Amino acid sequence: MPFTLDDLEAAARLVHGQMAPTPQYEWPQLSAATGAEVWVKHENHGPIGAFKARGAITFIDWLRRSHPECPGIITATRGNHGQAQARAATRAGLRAVVYVPKGNSVEKNAAMRSFGAELREHGHDFDTAKDEAMRAAAAEGLFPVPPFHPELVRGVATYALEFFRAAPPVDAVYVPIGCGSGICGVIAARDALGLATEVIGVVASEAAGAKLSVEAGRLTETNSARTFADGMAVRVPVEAALAIYGFGAARIVAVGEDEIAAAVRLYFAATHNVAEGAGAAALAALVQDGSAMRGRRVGLILSGGNIDTDWFRTILAGGTPRP
């Protein structure tokens, strides 16, 4: 789904009508810890604390124009996508039904309800909840919002457009991968601007479907996705997204649970920003790469700050949450 610069600038105007651009800063303590010049794009500073708010704005705008009779949406999530969709849908006067797996984050569930979501629990993981949400959509006459869609990507790409224009030119940017809208948005903005920046995808070792799929050259599911980085806890990669990052990313890096927890601690110690697991994954990958990035200017996408209090307490005490 190639986008022109005009496509992305139109999306940015729409997004900025509902939220301000998020900041990007160079953090000297992160640079000292990694050996690279580190610039962080702070999507944790947006209205839901995550980048998903952007794609929801453009998606709901598209839905209202293309399906004006639609009474509402139905979707599945581990948290941030659901918050974003509920926020955008209810602001547009639409109903928002959101499926989550059983045992989902209590605090993210509360946040979704606060934005107007009608929350339903189903299944043991995101992929099971997603399948049920898509099945229920037809029965209830609601529009099914998939985890990946051109309008979601066009909206999400606005964070990369902001970042590439506001920060100095970066040699590489690390982006976490869940269902893929975030990394595909970065690739879309990079290509629309004609940049040569390396895009490096990051997955959790316990949910490595995207990395395995790229290496195998075909969609590869995993048996489970038990990671506290719930924004990346996907068993079944999205084929349409794989077609983009499989070609457009330089490589995919897998980071372990302990590495992600260490990156959450490093973000807090070095910047006093709270990062959820998926939000800290890009920093974990940069630390893992070590000397390979020494002396280079590197971008990190801090894609979310919505970590449960108990997990954050565990991490700050030196531990790693076990979902």
Q: Which two tokens stand for residue 176?
A: 């976490």
Rounded to an integer, what distance in angstroms lies between the CA atom of residue 215 and that of residue 116?
A: 40
Distances (CA, A) of 201 to 114, 213, 232, 284: 32, 12, 11, 12
Instruction: Give the per-residue pLDDT at 91.
Output: 96
52-144 fold: Rossmann fold (3.40.50)
Q: Select from 1, 9, 98 the least CA-distant residue to 48.
A: 98
User: pLDDT at position 297, please?
Assistant: 98
Span(s) in the chain for CATH 3.40.50.1100: 5-51+150-316, 52-144
CA 78 to chain centre: 11
Angle at 212 between CA 197 and CA 79, to 5 degrees: 80
pTM of structure: 0.95
According to DSSP H, which parts of 179-307 are helical? 181-193, 209-216, 239-248, 257-271, 277-289
Q: For residues 166 and 39, is the Cβ–Cβ distance under 8 A?
A: no
**What is the Cβ-side half-sphere exposure of residue 165, based on CA atoms within 13 angstroms?**
15
What is the residue-level pLDDT of the chain in tens, covering all 323 positions? 789 999 999 999 999 999 999 999 999 999 999 999 999 999 999 999 999 999 999 999 999 999 999 999 999 999 999 999 999 999 999 999 999 999 999 999 999 999 999 999 999 998 899 999 999 998 999 999 998 999 999 999 999 999 999 999 999 999 999 999 999 999 999 999 999 999 999 999 999 999 999 999 999 999 989 999 999 999 999 999 999 999 999 999 999 999 999 999 999 999 999 999 999 999 999 999 988 999 999 999 999 999 999 999 999 999 999 98
Which 3 state secondary structure label does DSSP give 221?
A: coil
Q: Which of 312, 256, 241 is nearest to 287 (CA)?
A: 256
Vertex 280, ends 5 and 162: CA angle to 5°?
Answer: 20
Q: What is the pLDDT of residue 323?
A: 87
Instruction: Tell which residue, 98, 48, 101, has the closest CA to residue 73.
Output: 98
CB 296 within 8 Å of CB 171: yes
Rounded to whole angstroms, the Cα distance separating 226 from 247 reads: 27
Domain 5-51+150-316 has CATH 3.40.50.1100: yes
